[in-house]
Amino acid sequence: MPTGVHLRDVRGQLFDAAERLLVEGGPSALTSRAVTTEADVAKGVLHRHFDDFDAFLAEFVLDRVDKMDARAKALLESAGTGDVVGNLAEAITAVFTGVAVAIVALVTFRDDLRRRLRETWPAGVPVLTEAAIMIKAYLERERELGRVSDLDADGAAPMLIGTGHLLFADRDAPPSDNAVRRMVASVVAPWLRSHDSG
């Protein structure tokens, strides 16, 4: 296989295959053989590009965290528009209807992966930590704009993400939009200006 320019394509193929397997079959469905089969590449390709399978999984998790940048930017840009509860509910739904819930299960399932991630990610589960950072930045911006009063964004953001995770995890069907809005409102409503009570 050629090297260089095609490496990114191979990594992308492998990561996309891992995501499909993880979402459909859970952490136990992820093996190096299953990933290469799903990606339709030769069995040795994964080990040519990664030291071992946990190194591959760590890179996969961090790649999916990087993909949240666009979502975080869009949420921050929505500050001052729409309603705060709706903006937050939409962002939380986007996080948890993606691969986030499955990644939490994967990180919990594999001790070696957790140890590997600790080398570059100091605390928490990467996807959830990044989501909390995204929510905190948004709440701080809304506070600057005067749509949220003196809410403690450092406390509210992880509360929203933790409660959101409980709402979405281990379900046959995602919660309704109204259920997500009610959850968000229960956390932030006391600090919303009266015109934006969700």
Domain with residue 73: its CATH number is: 1.10.357
Q: What is the pLDDT of residue 3?
A: 44
Q: What is the pLDDT of residue 195?
A: 47
Domain of residue 14, residue span: 5-49
59 lies in a domain?
Answer: no
56 lies in a domain?
Answer: no
Whether 148 and 84 have beta carbons less than 8 Å apart is answered as yes
Q: Is the pLDDT of residue 117 over 80?
A: yes
Q: How many whole angstroms separate alpha carbon 167 and alpha carbon 172?
A: 12
**Whether residue 136 sits in one domain with residue 75:** yes
79 lies in a domain?
Answer: yes
Q: How many structural domains comprise the chain?
A: 2
pTM for the model? 0.79
The mean pLDDT value of the chain amounts to 87
Kindly state the average pLDDT of the residues 48-68. Answer: 90
Q: Is the pLDDT of residue 100 over 70?
A: yes
Q: How many whole angstroms separate alpha carbon 30 and alpha carbon 21?
A: 6
For 84, residues 6+ apart whose C-beta sits below 8 A from its C-beta are 142, 147, 148, 188, 192, 196, 198
Task: Name the pLDDT band for 2 (thresholds 50, 70, 90).
Answer: very low
**Whether residue 90 sits in one domain with residue 41:** no
61 lies in a domain?
Answer: no
**Whether residue 129 sits in one domain with residue 45:** no
More confident position, 5 or 116: 116
CA dist list (Å): 114 to 145, 166, 183: 38, 21, 29
CA dist list (Å): 167 to 96, 106, 160, 179: 9, 18, 10, 9
Q: Half-sphere exposure of residue 90, counting CA atoms within 13 Å on the CB side?
A: 15
**Whether residue 86 sits in one domain with residue 132:** yes
**Whether residue 91 sits in one domain with residue 41:** no
Kindly state the average pLDDT of the residues 64-73. Answer: 86
Helices (H), the chain: 5-25, 32-39, 45-49, 53-66, 68-78, 84-97, 100-109, 111-118, 126-144, 153-168, 177-188
Whether 192 and 85 have beta carbons less than 8 Å apart is answered as yes
**Whether residue 182 sits in one domain with residue 102:** yes
* CATH number of the domain where residue 17 is located: 1.10.10
**Whether residue 33 sits in one domain with residue 80:** no
**Whether residue 19 sits in one domain with residue 92:** no
60 lies in a domain?
Answer: no
